[in-house]
């Protein structure tokens, strides 16, 4: 009987730098202790047989080098197989029985998709002796999600899930400059609005508005988005639309907030936690009023979190649904209680420093 082995990868929150990764700017994500777990067992059938414990769904497909997507919940599994063939990393793959279970809610802005991709490739990396390092795993998972699955994402999710911890990631690469932070950043509370974003179209429109506005400004001079000042942006206000102006001003302000928070997080001692909290809330204001990706349910959870003792809070993820993250050291229980009373679902979480890993012993689903 084939041996069952278990692999897992964490979800993530974005602390600072929302909607910066696809613009090749800097982000500060943190992996969290909510994980997706995959148990694999070789079956020698030339088939992948999949079972999702949470969705109560099953599927199977033949392994071929011309595999294609079928537009169902298990296309994430197919996409990784497709990447391995396309990148020439495998010539054949033996069959596996695959069981998936996740603590990361789907569509919540906590990168459930990256967690499943990274945990699945981590499993295949071990099973097939591919000898990929964690950054290579993250890069391949990005190709699977962005290029094959066609999801409008940057690289933040895959890097956070694969590497673990909290770090600053310069998305202008590869290679991508990474600065790791050692802070525990205690007091994190996730507030799930329980509203699931079902369409990419509004986020595609946002991205297009940012890009089109900046292209118009670049025609006026050699400007870079990572250095463009808000005063300079104002000088060109008449050459771009009002929506483009607001989107770009939001991007620039969030960029500056991320730079300021990176300085604070890099301190070995005497971090200004109140400042870090305030920067979270300022970023939420930009996401709400300038990028237009918040919704009343998220705004309400941010408000009740702060009123109940959080130092700051913001939506996490692309927005238009999903979760907020609140920073509430020593007030976690009060904030969680307020979120639940406001109709959300609260989870007190910690930063996960392990990243993707092979479990010992393997997980048991019941």
Bridge pairing between strands 345-349 and 188-192? antiparallel
What's the angle, vertex CA 168, arms to CA 330 and CA 318, rounded to 5? 80
Task: Give the DSSP per-residue string, 187-243.
Answer: -EEEEE--PPP--SHHHHHHHHHHHHHHHHHHTTS---TTT--HHHHHHTGGGS-HH
pLDDT at site 95: 93
**What CATH number does the domain located at 5-182+352-358 have?**
3.30.230.10
pTM as predicted: 0.92
Instruction: Dump pLDDT digits (tens) for 122-175.
Output: 999 999 999 999 999 999 999 999 999 988 778 999 999 999 999 999 999 788
Bridge pairing between strands 323-327 and 357-358? unpaired
Instruction: Dump pLDDT digits (tens) for 99-122.
Output: 999 998 887 789 899 999 999 999
Matching fold, domains 5-182+352-358 and 188-349: no
Say if residue 366's pLDDT is above 70: no
Confidence grade of residue 8 (pLDDT, cut at 50, 70, 90): very high
Contact 151, 113 (CB under 8 A): yes
258-268: average pLDDT: 94
CATH class of segment(s) 188-349? alpha beta
pLDDT at site 364: 47
Contact 323, 109 (CB under 8 A): yes
**pLDDT: which is higher, 49 or 200:** 49
What six digits make up the tokens of 263? 């300085």
Instruction: Dump pLDDT digits (tens) for 214-262.
Output: 999 999 999 999 999 999 999 999 999 999 999 999 999 999 999 999 9
Domain ranges of the chain: 5-182+352-358, 188-349
pLDDT at site 94: 86
């Amino acid at each position: 009987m084939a041996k069952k082995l278990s692999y897992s990868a964490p979800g993530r929150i974005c602390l600072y730098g929302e909607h910066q990764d696809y613009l090749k700017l800097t982000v500060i994500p943190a992996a969290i202790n909510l994980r997706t777990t995959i148990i694999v067992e070789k079956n020698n059938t030339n088939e992948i047989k999949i079972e999702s414990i949470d969705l109560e769904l099953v599927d199977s497909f033949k392994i071929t080098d011309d595999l294609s997507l079928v537009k169902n919940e298990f296309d994430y599994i197919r996409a990784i197989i497709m990447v391995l063939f396309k990148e020439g990393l495998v010539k054949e793959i033996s069959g596996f029985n695959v069981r998936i279970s996740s603590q990361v809610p789907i569509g919540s802005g906590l990168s459930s998709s990256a967690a499943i991709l990274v945990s699945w490739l981590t499993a295949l990396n071990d099973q097939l002796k591919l000898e990929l390092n964690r950054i290579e795993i993250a890069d391949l998972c990005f190709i699977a999600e962005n290029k094959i699955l066609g999801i409008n994402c940057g690289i933040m999710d895959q890097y956070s899930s694969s590497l673990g911890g909290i770090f600053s990631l310069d998305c202008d690469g590869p290679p991508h400059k990474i600065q790791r932070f050692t802070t525990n950043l205690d007091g994190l509370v996730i507030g799930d609005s329980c509203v699931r974003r079902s369409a990419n179209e509004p986020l595609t429109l946002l991205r297009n508005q940012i890009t089109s506005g900046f292209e118009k400004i670049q025609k006026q001079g050699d400007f870079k988005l990572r250095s463009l000042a808000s005063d300079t942006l104002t000088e060109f206000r008449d050459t771009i639309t009002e929506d483009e102006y607001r989107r770009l001003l939001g991007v620039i302000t969030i960029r500056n907030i991320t730079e300021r928070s990176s300085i604070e997080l890099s301190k070995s001692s005497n971090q200004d936690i109140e400042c870090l909290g305030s920067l979270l809330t300022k970023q939420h204001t930009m996401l709400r009023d300038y990028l237009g990706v918040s919704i009343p349910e998220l705004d309400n959870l941010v408000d009740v979190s702060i009123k109940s003792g959080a130092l700051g809070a913001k939506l996490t993820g692309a927005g238009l649904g999903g979760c907020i993250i609140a920073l509430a050291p020593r007030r976690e229980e009060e904030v969680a209680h307020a979120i639940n009373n406001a109709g959300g679902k609260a989870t007190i979480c910690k930063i996960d420093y392990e990243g993707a890993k092979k479990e010992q012993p393997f997980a048991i689903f019941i």
